[in-house]
Copies of this chain bind each other. A is one copy, B any other.
């Protein structure tokens, strides 16, 4: 299993934890120099907080750990393509690389499009589609069960 796959599997495990708590199943991991420095899963429902997505929580924890709003040299692994808010947070925190699992296929603006239209000097590289079938199924099954 590659380096990227290992951390993506960790993000998937967190997504499954969110699902157990009846949250939209998304997990995120922030990595620096090959080590996980923070991780989180979506807690929007249980915390009654619109901003409590996995990526935001993981970024907040990583900033706290490094005592810096700039997460330079850090990568983030997310089981699902980030929404607009989370992609904005990834760019604002100067994360180097974003790796995500399933693509969002609902016609929303993509993470790549947001990154392209950002005015920040910093650029975040984006690679999607890791374990796509698995990641996609986790989200679709969750919504199927909710209906």
Identify A83's interface contact among B45, B53, B88, B106, CB under 8 A: B88
What are the interface flags for A99-125 relative to B under an 8 Å C-beta threshold, 1 for contact and 0 otherwise?
A: 000001011110001100111000000
Give chain A interface residues in 8-62, CB to chain B under 8 Å.
44-45, 47-53, 56, 59-60
Q: Are A51 and B56 in contact (CB under 8 A)?
A: yes
Q: Are A85 and B88 in contact (CB under 8 A)?
A: yes
Q: Are B49 and A64 in contact (CB under 8 A)?
A: yes
State whether the Cβ of A136 lies closer than 8 Å to any Cβ in chain B: no
State whether the Cβ of A78 lies closer than 8 Å to any Cβ in chain B: no
| CB of A87, distance to nearest CB on chain B (Å) | 7
Whose C-beta in chain B lies nearest to the C-beta of A62? Answer: B50
Report B-chain residues with C-beta under 8 Å of the C-beta of A50. Answer: 59, 63, 69-71, 89, 92-94
Give Cα distance in the complex from A114 to B111, angstroms.
12
Report B-chain residues with C-beta under 8 Å of the C-beta of A86. Answer: 85, 88
Q: Are A84 and B83 in contact (CB under 8 A)?
A: no
Whose C-beta in chain B lies nearest to the C-beta of A65? Answer: B48
State whether the Cβ of A98 lies closer than 8 Å to any Cβ in chain B: no
Give Cα distance in the complex from A142 to B68, angstroms.
21
State whether the Cβ of A67 lies closer than 8 Å to any Cβ in chain B: yes
Given the contacts A49-B64, A49-B69, A85-B85, A114 and B118 also touching, CB distance less than 8 Å:
no
